[in-house]
Structure formats: structure tokens, C-alpha cells
Structure 1
């Protein structure tokens, strides 16, 4: 992918973390075998406007950590705070509302709805938020233009390349301007050219909208775009780097 541009937001120790994780552990039972400790006493802080990469090989615990941060799973031990909300204290309905208001998602497999065109897919988060139909269409069109899909708005996922589908997924994640966007291996199914374009979009939107982006990846090239790299191994943080 080459080297990313150096244009990161300035953060300092006086900033209040947007995400705080304290002593989080997650254990999965395994039938007829020892339980697997997917996360082992993980503590970290992520600051507003950071691009943070949770980096590690398969089985390191990075996807489990992302699920914890997004409130998709709850830790057995420890606490996760996003802004002023402790996720552990929310029930499933409260978590769903919280995610709708504050969080966007980008997936490796795109997760677009096949029966909807690009414009309709991007409108989905705004529908859940009750945005007026005229306004949500305008917002979705503007985001698709930002990701370079002004000529693909009425195309269905099957009519788009992998890179175009991922751009649609990015437009959907950012359309409501959430405080945080979580991205799970967002370049995992893409060639190197498309991967570079996707990561440059993350960088641009993070700077333009001052949004926090948390990316899970096993790819060092993807990690090179991050301000903050958290490397996991066997469920533990073994290294943290802030550029």
C-alpha cells in the first residue's frame, strides 16, 4: 500500500478517552477441553479522533476485543466505558439504541443487503434513527459522492466490485456521523490497490469529521495507517504504539 500521509489529529494526556477498557477478560467454554481465555486482563484507552488498529494474528483475541468494545458481547470480568456510558450496565435494548446513536460498523464481508441498491443500503442507519426520508436520501447521496460512487448509487451489490461494495459499506457507516466507527478486517477481501483506497478514506473521514476509528487487522500495511497500534497475542496486549 505504501506509506500513509502523516496528518493525524493531535491528542495528549489531558484529553478524556472516548473509550476506556479496564481489566477485561473473556473466557469461552470448550466441550471436553480446557476453557479458552480469549481476552486476559486487557486495559486500554482510545482518544477522540484517533485511528486505532487492534493488530494481531488469527486467534490473538482481536475480534473478541472488538465485539466487547461494540457491546456485541459482555466481558466476564472488567468494564468498558464509551464516552460516559458503561456498556456492561446496559441491557440488550439499551445497547441497540446506544449503537444506533454513537457507533458505525464496517465489515470484511461488506454485509450489504442484496435486495437494496447502494443508496438504499446507505440510508439504513438513518431509517433506524427516524430521519426524514428527503433528508436521509440527500445525506446518503452526499456520502456516496464522497466515496466516489456517484455513478453507482442505483446499483445493487451483485453489480459492484468488492472495492465498490466496501465503499458503500463505508458510506453506510459514516452517513450518520457516529462518534466511533468499528471496522473488522475491512481490507481482508480486497486487492492491494483497493485496500489502499479504503484506508485513505478512513484517514480522510477521521480527520474531516474528527471521528474515532477502531480497526481490527492482521495486516501490517493496514496498521501503518493508525495513530495508535495495539498488538494482541493470546488475549493479552503485548505492545502499544502511539505515533
Structure 2
């Protein structure tokens, strides 16, 4: 019993230390967002002496926040919905149709997760430029391509746990394949769907590199692109940048806390065959 108590105390202390390390960047971001630029350089770890709310007002104005937020929301929401629909259907087909071709295709998707974006970004952007797709539609299509591999992998693992008798019973009742998937299988995939949604939302919402290459029109910038406004060649407005970052992560944090139970269920379901 004493050994167990000592282990629990040790694990509790270790967990607390790791939690403090993990949360320290968020603390620094929020705390320094209320300081002046001078206070940040004097003591970045110290709590703000006087709370400076003006940083948030200036950040919202400089970012044209409402318009930029709508750009990010449109691209993120549409991309995530498209990824969920196509990836779930592809995973269902690959799971239910057992053949050498489906196996090869599935492992091709898995292998695609290992390809770094930097190795293909120049030919992709060049190709999309020729077809006039350096816009929202183009970036959503690219997100579908880059987000499908992991999403199909997660969906595939979950669908493999579902008995084929569900499909057979629905077909006997008169459903076609699409109806079997949409009305029987897809509702059961809710936990993994939430997992896929949150993983892709965090990635797309915070992505800077792909939008910087594809979105080349004024007024279509996402929040990460607009954040670059605070980092000039000769000066960096850290107080405004940190205030803008704090505002920008709020939607993702709210979404995560709402969906966290489903995320845990989805990860567990996808890991067991």
C-alpha cells in the first residue's frame, strides 16, 4: 500500500509539472496580451500590472477581425465537412469491398500521410495556378487531398468494428448501398466523426503555409495570414499579436471542450478492431 501511495504521489507531482510546462505558453500568451510592448520585454513571465484592454481593440481593428474571421470560418467549415463526407464514404467502400485493389488503395492513403507538404507544394501551386484555382475553392480542394489520408485511416479502423450484418439487414429491407451508408453506418460513426472534425479544424484553422501560397487576393486572407501584419521588417508588435492570437484560438477551444467526450470515444473506437 505504501509503495502504491508513493507511486501515486510521484505520478501526481510528475503530472503537475508536465501540466505546468504544457500550459506555460498559453499563460505567456494571455498574460502578455494585456501588457504594453515595454512591459513584455521587461518581464515576459510576470503578471500584467495594469490590464491593457486597448491591445484587443487595436488587434481587432488591425486584423479587420470580423471579415477575416468569416474567411477562416468559411474555409475551415467547408473543408472539414467535405473531408468528413468523402473520407467516410471512401473508408466505408475500402472496408466493405475486400480485394487486393482496395488493400493497395488503403495502404496508399496511409503512405500518403508520410509525404511532407513542402515536397509537393511548388508543383501543386503551379498546377492550380494554371487552372485558375488559387482561391477558396482551390484551397478547400487541397485541404481535402491532404486531410483525407488520416481521416480515411481513422474511419476505416472504426468501420471494421461494425458487423456486416447491419448492411445485409438494411439491404434486405430495400436500402441501396448509399442509403445503407448514410442512414445506418454514418450515424454510428458520430464519435470518430467528431474526432476527425476537431483534428482537421485545428490544423486548417491554424494553417499559415498553404493559405499563403494559394490565397493571393486582398480581402480573402485567413486569420494566420493577417497575423503577419504585426511582424514587420523593423518592428514587431508583440502586444497586438498576442492579443490577436488569444482571440483567434477562442473558437477552437470552445469547439474542443464541447466535443471532447466524443473525441475520446472516437479515438478508442478507432483503435480497437
- Which structure dedicates a bigger proportion of its chain to helix? 2
Query: Structures share a fold, TM > 0.5?
Result: no
The structure whose Rg is larger is 2
Q: TM-score range by the shorter chain?
A: under 0.3
